[in-house]
Amino acid sequence: MVCLGNICRSPLAEAIMREKLKQFNLPIAVDSAGTSNYHIGENPDSRSIANAAKNGIDISQLKARQFSAHDFDQFDLIYVMDESNYNNVTALARDENDSNKVRIIMNEHEALGYTHVPDPYFGKEKDFQLVFDLLDKVCEKICRNFQQQLTNINH
Protein backbone atom coordinates (compact mmCIF):
# COMPACT_ATOMS: atom_id res chain seq x y z
CA MET A 1 0.00 0.00 0.00
CA VAL A 2 1.67 3.19 -1.18
CA CYS A 3 0.85 6.91 -0.83
CA LEU A 4 2.95 10.07 -0.73
CA GLY A 5 3.84 10.44 2.95
CA ASN A 6 3.03 6.99 4.41
CA ILE A 7 1.40 8.79 7.33
CA CYS A 8 -2.26 9.31 6.29
CA ARG A 9 -3.70 6.96 3.65
CA SER A 10 -1.35 4.00 3.27
CA PRO A 11 -1.03 3.19 7.02
CA LEU A 12 -4.85 2.99 7.10
CA ALA A 13 -4.79 0.85 3.95
CA GLU A 14 -2.18 -1.48 5.47
CA ALA A 15 -4.08 -1.96 8.74
CA ILE A 16 -7.50 -2.32 7.12
CA MET A 17 -6.16 -4.86 4.61
CA ARG A 18 -4.40 -6.83 7.37
CA GLU A 19 -7.70 -7.00 9.28
CA LYS A 20 -9.65 -8.12 6.17
CA LEU A 21 -7.04 -10.75 5.27
CA LYS A 22 -7.46 -12.16 8.78
CA GLN A 23 -11.26 -12.20 8.44
CA PHE A 24 -11.00 -13.96 5.06
CA ASN A 25 -8.36 -16.33 6.43
CA LEU A 26 -5.97 -15.41 3.63
CA PRO A 27 -2.25 -15.97 4.40
CA ILE A 28 -1.02 -12.87 2.55
CA ALA A 29 1.51 -10.35 3.86
CA VAL A 30 0.83 -6.61 3.63
CA ASP A 31 3.00 -3.54 4.26
CA SER A 32 2.95 0.15 3.37
CA ALA A 33 5.37 2.84 2.23
CA GLY A 34 5.47 6.41 0.92
CA THR A 35 7.01 7.65 -2.30
CA SER A 36 8.50 10.67 -0.48
CA ASN A 37 11.15 10.83 2.24
CA TYR A 38 9.21 13.55 4.13
CA HIS A 39 8.13 11.50 7.14
CA ILE A 40 10.54 8.53 7.33
CA GLY A 41 10.50 6.96 10.82
CA GLU A 42 7.40 8.86 11.97
CA ASN A 43 4.22 7.30 13.31
CA PRO A 44 1.04 7.95 11.30
CA ASP A 45 -0.58 11.41 11.35
CA SER A 46 -2.47 11.88 14.63
CA ARG A 47 -5.70 12.34 12.66
CA SER A 48 -5.24 8.96 10.94
CA ILE A 49 -4.47 7.31 14.29
CA ALA A 50 -7.63 8.85 15.79
CA ASN A 51 -9.79 7.89 12.80
CA ALA A 52 -8.49 4.31 12.83
CA ALA A 53 -9.15 4.03 16.57
CA LYS A 54 -12.69 5.35 16.08
CA ASN A 55 -13.17 2.53 13.54
CA GLY A 56 -11.68 -0.12 15.85
CA ILE A 57 -8.15 -0.38 14.42
CA ASP A 58 -4.83 0.51 16.08
CA ILE A 59 -2.23 2.04 13.73
CA SER A 60 -0.35 4.01 16.39
CA GLN A 61 2.74 1.78 16.23
CA LEU A 62 3.27 1.87 12.46
CA LYS A 63 6.33 3.74 11.17
CA ALA A 64 6.70 5.54 7.85
CA ARG A 65 9.26 4.32 5.35
CA GLN A 66 10.08 5.23 1.77
CA PHE A 67 9.19 2.99 -1.15
CA SER A 68 12.23 1.66 -3.02
CA ALA A 69 12.85 -0.57 -6.05
CA HIS A 70 13.65 -3.37 -3.58
CA ASP A 71 9.90 -3.51 -2.83
CA PHE A 72 9.31 -4.86 -6.33
CA ASP A 73 11.29 -7.96 -5.25
CA GLN A 74 9.38 -8.29 -1.97
CA PHE A 75 5.77 -7.90 -3.16
CA ASP A 76 3.57 -9.35 -5.91
CA LEU A 77 1.09 -6.45 -5.93
CA ILE A 78 1.62 -2.77 -5.21
CA TYR A 79 -1.54 -0.75 -4.62
CA VAL A 80 -1.15 3.01 -4.90
CA MET A 81 -3.67 5.61 -3.73
CA ASP A 82 -3.59 8.01 -6.70
CA GLU A 83 -2.14 8.70 -10.12
CA SER A 84 0.75 10.74 -8.77
CA ASN A 85 1.77 7.76 -6.58
CA TYR A 86 1.41 5.57 -9.68
CA ASN A 87 3.78 7.75 -11.68
CA ASN A 88 6.31 7.94 -8.82
CA VAL A 89 6.30 4.18 -8.22
CA THR A 90 6.40 3.11 -11.87
CA ALA A 91 9.29 5.54 -12.41
CA LEU A 92 11.33 3.22 -10.14
CA ALA A 93 10.33 0.05 -12.04
CA ARG A 94 13.33 -1.72 -13.57
CA ASP A 95 11.33 -3.64 -16.15
CA GLU A 96 7.80 -4.51 -17.27
CA ASN A 97 7.47 -7.21 -14.62
CA ASP A 98 7.94 -4.51 -11.95
CA SER A 99 5.56 -1.98 -13.50
CA ASN A 100 2.85 -4.63 -14.05
CA LYS A 101 2.65 -5.09 -10.26
CA VAL A 102 1.43 -1.52 -9.71
CA ARG A 103 -2.33 -0.88 -9.47
CA ILE A 104 -4.36 2.22 -8.57
CA ILE A 105 -6.37 0.72 -5.72
CA MET A 106 -9.76 2.32 -6.52
CA ASN A 107 -9.72 0.62 -9.93
CA GLU A 108 -10.39 -2.63 -8.02
CA HIS A 109 -13.90 -1.40 -7.12
CA GLU A 110 -15.18 0.86 -9.89
CA ALA A 111 -18.78 0.89 -8.58
CA LEU A 112 -17.64 3.19 -5.75
CA GLY A 113 -17.10 5.91 -8.35
CA TYR A 114 -13.65 7.06 -7.20
CA THR A 115 -10.56 7.05 -9.44
CA HIS A 116 -8.26 7.64 -6.45
CA VAL A 117 -8.20 7.84 -2.65
CA PRO A 118 -8.34 11.61 -1.98
CA ASP A 119 -5.36 12.98 -0.02
CA PRO A 120 -6.77 14.05 3.40
CA TYR A 121 -3.56 15.83 4.55
CA PHE A 122 -5.07 19.32 4.28
CA GLY A 123 -8.56 18.07 5.18
CA LYS A 124 -10.69 17.43 8.23
CA GLU A 125 -12.06 14.39 10.08
CA LYS A 126 -14.75 13.82 7.45
CA ASP A 127 -12.00 13.55 4.81
CA PHE A 128 -10.21 10.91 6.90
CA GLN A 129 -13.49 9.03 7.34
CA LEU A 130 -13.99 9.04 3.56
CA VAL A 131 -10.50 7.54 3.18
CA PHE A 132 -11.39 4.87 5.74
CA ASP A 133 -14.73 4.02 4.11
CA LEU A 134 -13.25 3.77 0.60
CA LEU A 135 -10.34 1.62 1.78
CA ASP A 136 -12.64 -0.57 3.86
CA LYS A 137 -14.84 -1.30 0.83
CA VAL A 138 -12.07 -1.74 -1.71
CA CYS A 139 -9.98 -3.99 0.57
CA GLU A 140 -13.04 -6.15 1.17
CA LYS A 141 -13.55 -6.42 -2.59
CA ILE A 142 -9.88 -7.30 -3.20
CA CYS A 143 -10.08 -10.06 -0.55
CA ARG A 144 -13.27 -11.41 -2.11
CA ASN A 145 -11.46 -11.54 -5.46
CA PHE A 146 -8.46 -13.33 -3.89
CA GLN A 147 -10.84 -15.84 -2.31
CA GLN A 148 -12.57 -16.42 -5.64
CA GLN A 149 -9.22 -16.99 -7.35
CA LEU A 150 -8.28 -19.57 -4.70
CA THR A 151 -11.64 -21.30 -5.16
CA ASN A 152 -11.03 -21.45 -8.91
CA ILE A 153 -7.57 -22.96 -8.38
CA ASN A 154 -8.90 -25.60 -5.97
CA HIS A 155 -11.82 -26.76 -8.14
Binding interface with ligand 4NP (CB under 6 A) = 3-9, 34, 38, 119, 121
Q: Is the dihedral of CA 81, 109, 91, 75 positive or negative?
A: positive
Going by C-alpha positions, the residue among 4, 7, 1 that lies closest to residue 85 is 4
Q: Please, which residue, 8 or 15, has the CB nearer to ligand 4NP?
A: 8
Q: Please, which residue, 117 or 143, has the CB nearer to ligand 4NP?
A: 117
CB of 116 to ligand 4NP, least distance (A): 11
Q: Which of 18, 119, 136, 143 is catalytic?
A: 119
Q: Is 45 a catalytic residue?
A: no
Q: What is the 3-state secondary structure (H, E, C) of 56-96?
A: CCCCCCCCCCECCCHHHHHCCCEEECCHHHHHHHHCCCCCH
Q: Is 3 a catalytic residue?
A: yes
Q: Is 119 a catalytic residue?
A: yes
Catalytic residues: 3, 9, 119
